[in-house]
Structure 1
Amino acid sequence: MSHTEPSPTTARAGRALPQAAAALVVVLVLLVIVRLPWAGDLGIHAATIQRLSHNLLHPGDPLVDADTPSPYYSPWMLVLGCLAKLTGLSVFVVLRIAAFVGLGLLVTGVWRYVRTLSAHRAAPALALLSLLLLWGPVLFNWSGFLGLNSLALTVSYPSVFALGLAFHFWAWLTRALREPEPAAWATWSALGLLWALVLLCHQFTGVVSSLGALAMVIAARPTRAVLLRLGAALALGMLLLGLWPYYDFFSLFSAGANLEAIHKPLYEQLAGHFGFVLLGVAALVLRFRRDRWDPLVLFFALGALMFAAGGLSGHYSWGRALPAALVPAQLAAALEAVTAGRRAWARTGWACVLGVALAAGAWTQAGTLGYVIPKSALPAAVADKYDTPWVGYHWMTPWVKYGDVVMARTSPARQIPAYGAYTVAPGYPDFFLPDEAKRDAAVVRYFDAGTSAAERRGILREYKVQWVVGSRSLAGPGLRKVTTGPDHQVLYRVVR
């Protein structure tokens, strides 16, 4: 046996270790799904299922009582809405089912795509670990970004479902491009429909999916016959995007101005949030030296260019394309551990460096354990990393019914619609709502200490408000206290 190759026992251990670690991480996320910690956008996705389960054809705005379209009404949410309507299951049970499906798609999608890049048995497990742990020393959570803690909080979101589909799409596309003879027209038609489905389910992930597909096509340098099939697939996908009845997909291109402010944090603390990914960038340099047409290198370049263009031009919403740079770098870091050079010492050395980076990333995200283990049972150093999920507004449901309108500030407005009620102003940017600015101003005026009782009553009448959630200081004529919730919040009934 050559001294440059590991013994069979060492090789088996090298495969088993990342596979066991990846399995443990998947089990952790499965346990998190049972808990379904509430933070971020969970409220709007629950509200979307609520509206669809009550009216599949004309659900209206998911957050406020208005007859407007919404990009949240995607094919996947339509399926979940039908499930809720047919079974009578709670939206939170439906969201758990969505989380199981999304996680399954993600894990199998990563496995299938990585198999197109490496035949090594440990490669898919290492890739999954890198996607979840190779981030930075500062915790970062955002939907569409696959850090372990971020995934734990967003696993039921459409973004995870869409990203899982994207990995399957890339795997299928790669195999189709490698066929010695052009794949059947039916295959390319299905690929076009799958591409459009990803875009409809989560638009930002759709952009990442598109950049990845473009990189794979460029790397394959397809023949004219394949290009014709690609064109047909693209046309069919565009047709589906144009025919989707729940919202005008192409109108989203003019909505970026409303999203720039909330996406500016994507361009802050880059080293802290993504510093460990530099190991993947180094791996991409090595891949580029071996193959100037490497698809991961091209994928990274396209994603990095779009991200940089967004920062330079002030289009901060373009920062949502950053996974198009992160994913190929993270995959490259994992693949280098099983393909670096022809010498065992090179692979072993890279694997050791990757292991240290993954361990550091795991420590940054160790607070994820708090979603399945009581905080009191965690070591103090880990407990300090745990963020308590939102409590929710289930305490209101004995009184507030489906379709009631609630006056509430932004934070409660991000959760209350999950239980079926509407709020006066949406808790999230809603560019299909024409009077969004007016509604936001009305909420600010209502809770302003200098606003008169008469003006407050006028605002309540204008928006047909039945309930108010606020502090004790709101008590007065026209409001009757009903109950008290967490953090000294008070639910008031509006008395006409």
Structure 2
Amino acid sequence: MHTTTSDTAPEQRTAAPRHPVARAGRISAQGAAALVLVLLLLVVVRLPWAGDLGMHAATVERLRHGLLHPGNPLIDADTPSPYYSPWTLLLGIVAKLTGLSVFVVLRLGALAGLALLVTGVHRYVRTLTAHRAAPALALLSLLFLWGPALFSWSGFLGLNSLALTVSYPSVCALGLTFHFWAWLTRAARGPIGWGAGAGLGVLWAVILLCHQFTGVVATLGGLAMVAGARPARATLLRLGTGLLPGLLVLWLWPYYDFFALFSAGGDLEAVHRSLYRDLAGRFGYVLLGVVALGFRLRRDRRDPLALFFALGVLMVAAGGLTGHYSWGRALPAALIPAQLAAALQAVSAGRWALRRGWACVLLVALVAGAWTQAGTLGYVVRRDALPGAVAAKYREPWAGYQWIVRAGVRYGDVVMARRFPARQIPAYGPYTVAPGYPDVFLPDADRREAAMKRYFEAGTGDGERRAILRAYGARWVVGGAPAPWLHKTAVGPRGQVLYRVAP
């Protein structure tokens, strides 16, 4: 079998051409990447609230108060949660030891996750080419080579998506994934010891525990990289044996049963169905990378990026055809290799004129993608200071519910609230009656959801509403109709009313 002990394959060890235009292009790419990183660092300071930030803040807060038995992060119930990952456990320990507020700890986590991501992309790209401009181009492609329609979701690396999820475990998991691929690629190219195989297995398990969907992407990429490297039999044996300690870590993780997630039901499928909509609008510019993958496949029938892309497409297509829409979270397994291939094609070996032409096309696509996500500037610049066309793309972050804490709601209090407030309230310490997110480990999740909806229905009588509050020990209500036994305590943004429940 073919093996090579170098970090890059022989045909990929090409030095950057000493051409003034090439040097200017490399400096421009590195400068643009640096500016984007500065923007993301400023975003971390702002930490715009949207999506699942409340869930992750609540998870860290529960771990601060009980590292061994934190209970459900959203509901006053002693149930496990897949959000208790190695990453959130580390942040919970930091919060407990330092006494820092949960949002300061999340900012520190965002900085660490961003550092893992940038260094991971750099290390992995260096296994594919020695060209000095390639890591910067790859980072820009991962952030901007998307489509004309704005798309944001955790585990996806568009600039706007990353700005909103930078403190999430998914960013840490993606950073670890690129490091995992870099380590695995180097290991597969040469003889390795048993310790390296075991270390790779443990790192794979940590990624899966931190963010399960990113773990699937890491696994598909790992399979493609091993297949593309054509490792010697002894190396393959050590890599395969390394899965055993990884599986042991997954089995022994004390905060939730990882393997029980395979039986997660319809709630996850319904949530992820939207991933299959408007694929051309969201990911249209990635077709440039698909063309680049075709060039790579012509040069090498076992090109790891092409194999990775094929595995990702197969899994996403299977999810759409069978109704397993949560498999759409494997979309990064198709997007990442195509985006990397588009960047690498601009610095690949071949005629200078062809590389220059490809670089021009890539530049146009990146500029178009950057324009789609230009509203991200609004997270660090006041909206009224932005040009009108950019300001129109800006989406206002959520306001948060810190105002209910100032009004007297304490850690551990139970609040009756609709689904949207329930996604934020637990971040400050209280619980809610019904979870704001699907919870596969909460046995009475459907009953709680039905009780919450029944409470806020217009036709529900005062007696039934009060009985619902007593059944769940709710001491506070956000929104809904007034009643003699509800004392108006505070009014928040958009006229939301906080009521205290009389004894």
Flag whether TM exceeds 0.5 (same fold). yes
Tell me which residue corresponds to 1:214.
223
Q: SS where residue 67 of structure 1 aligns?
A: coil
Q: What do the CA deviations read for 1:111-140 (whole angstroms, capped 9, x no partner)?
A: 000000010000000000000000000000
Alignment CA distance shift 1:221-1:41 (3 Å): same
Picking from 119, 134, 141, the partner of 1:130 is 141
Q: Given residue 26 of structure 2, which amino acid in structure 1 is its aligned partner?
A: R
Tell me which residue corresponds to 1:279.
288
Measure the CA separation in 2 of the matches of 1:256 and 1:431.
7
Identity among equivalent pairs (%):
72
Greater mean deviation of Cα atoms: 254-263 or 142-151: 254-263
Is contact 2:188–2:236 with CA below 8 Å preserved after alignment? no
Offset of 1:221 from its aligned partner? Answer: 2.2
Q: What do the CA deviations read for 1:320-369 (whole angstroms, capped 9, x no partner)?
A: 00000000000000000000x52100000000000000000000000000
1:482 and 2:493 aligned = no
Measure the CA separation in 2 of the matches of 1:111 and 1:7.
22
Picking from 9, 24, 27, the partner of 1:16 is 27
Picking from 87, 91, 104, the partner of 1:93 is 104
Correspondence list, 1:299-310, <5 A: 299-310=308-319
Correspondence list, 1:214-253, <5 A: 214-253=223-262
Tell me which residue corresponds to 1:390.
398
Q: Given residue 95 of structure 1, which amino acid in structure 2 is its aligned partner?
A: L
Tell me which residue corresponds to 1:367.
375
Measure the CA separation in 2 of the matches of 1:31 and 1:429.
32
Greater mean deviation of Cα atoms: 474-483 or 151-160: 474-483
Measure the CA separation in 1 of the matches of 2:21 and 2:336.
29
Measure the CA separation in 1 of the matches of 2:69 and 2:268.
26
Offset of 1:156 from its aligned partner? Answer: 0.2
Tell me which residue corresponds to 1:492.
499
Measure the CA separation in 1 of the matches of 2:22 and 2:369.
25
Offset of 1:256 from its aligned partner? Answer: 4.2
Q: Given residue 95 of structure 2, which amino acid in structure 1 is its aligned partner?
A: A
Is contact 2:292–2:338 with CA below 8 Å preserved after alignment? yes
Q: SS where residue 346 of structure 2 aligns?
A: helix
Greater mean deviation of Cα atoms: 319-328 or 248-257: 248-257
Alignment CA distance shift 1:293-1:256 (3 Å): farther
Correspondence list, 1:39-54, <5 A: 39-54=50-65
1:116 and 2:127 aligned = yes
Q: Given residue 381 of structure 1, which amino acid in structure 2 is its aligned partner?
A: A
Measure the CA separation in 2 of the matches of 1:213 and 1:280.
20
Q: Given residue 188 of structure 1, which amino acid in structure 2 is its aligned partner?
A: G
Offset of 1:8 from its aligned partner? Answer: 3.0
1:258 and 2:263 aligned = no
Q: What do the CA deviations read for 1:37-95 (whole angstroms, capped 9, x no partner)?
A: 00000000000001000000000000000000000000110000010011110000000
Measure the CA separation in 2 of the matches of 1:83 and 1:149.
28
Give the unaligned 5+ runs of structure 1: none
Q: TM-score, normalised by structure 2?
A: 0.96
Q: What do the CA deviations read for 1:176-230 (whole angstroms, capped 9, x no partner)?
A: 1111xx2111111111100000000000000000000000111122222122212
Q: SS where residue 130 of structure 2 aligns?
A: coil
Tell me which residue corresponds to 2:162.
151
Q: Given residue 353 of structure 1, which amino acid in structure 2 is its aligned partner?
A: V
Q: What do the CA deviations read for 1:391-412 (whole angstroms, capped 9, x no partner)?
A: 0001111210100000000000
Measure the CA separation in 2 of the matches of 1:484 and 1:228.
64
Is contact 1:256–1:315 with CA below 8 Å preserved after alignment? no
Picking from 79, 87, 91, the partner of 1:68 is 79
Measure the CA separation in 2 of the matches of 1:389 and 1:418.
16
Tell me which residue corresponds to 1:38.
49
Q: TM-score, normalised by structure 1?
A: 0.97
Offset of 1:6 from its aligned partner? Answer: 6.8
Is contact 1:425–1:439 with CA below 8 Å preserved after alignment? yes
1:439 and 2:448 aligned = yes
Is contact 2:265–2:440 with CA below 8 Å preserved after alignment? no
Measure the CA separation in 2 of the matches of 1:229 and 1:481.
65
Measure the CA separation in 2 of the matches of 1:7 and 1:100.
35
Measure the CA separation in 2 of the matches of 1:459 and 1:257.
26
Measure the CA separation in 1 of the matches of 2:428 and 2:159.
28
Offset of 1:258 from its aligned partner? Answer: 2.3
1:176 and 2:199 aligned = no
Q: What do the CA deviations read for 1:215-257 (whole angstroms, capped 9, x no partner)?
A: 0111122222122212211111001000000000000000043
1:405 and 2:444 aligned = no
Measure the CA separation in 2 of the matches of 1:495 and 1:304.
56
Tell me which residue corresponds to 1:455.
464
Measure the CA separation in 2 of the matches of 1:256 and 1:296.
32
Q: SS where residue 478 of structure 2 aligns?
A: strand
Is contact 1:256–1:317 with CA below 8 Å preserved after alignment? no
Measure the CA separation in 2 of the matches of 1:346 and 1:11.
13
Measure the CA separation in 2 of the matches of 1:241 and 1:229.
19
Picking from 348, 360, 363, the partner of 1:355 is 363
Q: SS where residue 259 of structure 1 aligns?
A: helix
Q: SS where residue 347 of structure 2 aligns?
A: helix
Picking from 391, 403, 426, the partner of 2:435 is 426
Offset of 1:12 from its aligned partner? Answer: 1.3
Q: SS where residue 72 of structure 2 aligns?
A: coil
Measure the CA separation in 2 of the matches of 1:135 and 1:228.
38
Q: Given residue 438 of structure 1, which amino acid in structure 2 is its aligned partner?
A: R
Measure the CA separation in 2 of the matches of 1:31 and 1:255.
37
Tell me which residue corresponds to 1:164.
175
Measure the CA separation in 1 of the matches of 2:265 and 2:77.
22
Measure the CA separation in 2 of the matches of 1:446 and 1:156.
34
Measure the CA separation in 1 of the matches of 2:88 and 2:385.
37
Aligned residue pairs: how many?
A: 487
Tell me which residue corresponds to 1:325.
334
Measure the CA separation in 2 of the matches of 1:329 and 1:75.
30
Greater mean deviation of Cα atoms: 217-226 or 33-42: 217-226
Structure 1 consecutive aligned stretches of length 4 or more whose deviation exceeds 6 Å: none
Measure the CA separation in 2 of the matches of 1:83 and 1:7.
48
